[in-house]
Amino acid sequence: MARGEIGFVGLGIMGKPMVRNLMKADYSVTVYDIVSESVEEMVTDGAKSASSAAEVAQSAPIVITMVPDSPQSEAAILGPNGVLEGTSSGSTVIDMSSIAPASSQKIAKACENAGVNFLDAPVSGGETGAIEGTLAVMVGGKKEVFDSNYDMLSTMSGSIVLCGDYGAGNTTKLANQIIVAGNIAALGEALVLAKKSGIDPQVVFDAIKGGLAGSTVMNTKGPMMISGNFDPGFRIVLHQKDLHNALLTGKDVGAPLMFTSLAQQILGSLINDGKGNSDHSAIANFMEDMAGVKISDK
């Protein structure tokens, strides 16, 4: 017997495994995506399909959205045939997209005016975390809404933290993305230095990963750089989007973000080089190109 009805809008690289984890936890899930093949794939796995975000909302008291950026979130929730058209008073919308905090606050206000609960709940952990159900979820919204949805969110995550009111989840996610970009860039520079100096990058990685420089970023992205495997877990184009939102937010609140600006420019250069759909570990390609060396021998 199903634990409850959940609606899910957005079946990309993150959304699909998140839906699968909800179904594994015995939730009945109705899905929608603009890509019909993605809907068909989820139906094959046991989900029910809808023809619009509004129809998803008509079928479930809780609707999760997982789309690329602020315009898509606003369209999916506030737009024609959007989630709010199908919800009723007392329903809950949880936007797990990584978007600008100001956009989350705009959506929250519209939801409140319709008598609908709202949480902004972006995630970190990439495709691996989505598949394994170990995502870190950063939440903005009302504590009572957070508490009532905690168990359901736990089926997709390893940690869930209420960070503050509306928009706080996405502000926290932006802070996360700044740190991740900085870590990857520093790791790329370090391994390029090792390679250019005639030292095996694998040896350097093994020597330092247990020390203060060690991190989840290093353990995840270092092997990708060393093997030359940049298949996307989290795409460069999406990380650039996050840093763009961070810079806009920094401007709004008066916080200079110098390193973030540099990292965003590196990502922009890689996108111009045709690498926007590579994993963000390919930040190392920028350092490799400047040094005229490849970290990987493959």
Backbone angles phi, psi at 162, to 5 degrees: -80, 115
- For the chain, the C-alpha Rg in angstroms (whole number) is 20
Contact 19, 65 (CB under 8 A): no
d(CA 236, CA 241): 9
- Give catalytic residues, as residue numbers: 173
d(CA 44, CA 142): 36
Q: Which residues lie across from 30 on neighbouring strands? A: 7, 48
d(CA 280, CA 20): 25
Of residues 106, 171, 100, 110, the one with CA closest to residue 139: 171
Kindly list the distances between the CA atom of residue 128 and the CA atoms of 136, 195, 232, in Å, as whole numbers in the listed order. 12, 28, 11
d(CA 145, CA 199): 53
Token readout for 23 is 């179904």
Contact 127, 135 (CB under 8 A): no
Backbone angles phi, psi at 95, to 5 degrees: -90, 110
Contact 181, 262 (CB under 8 A): no
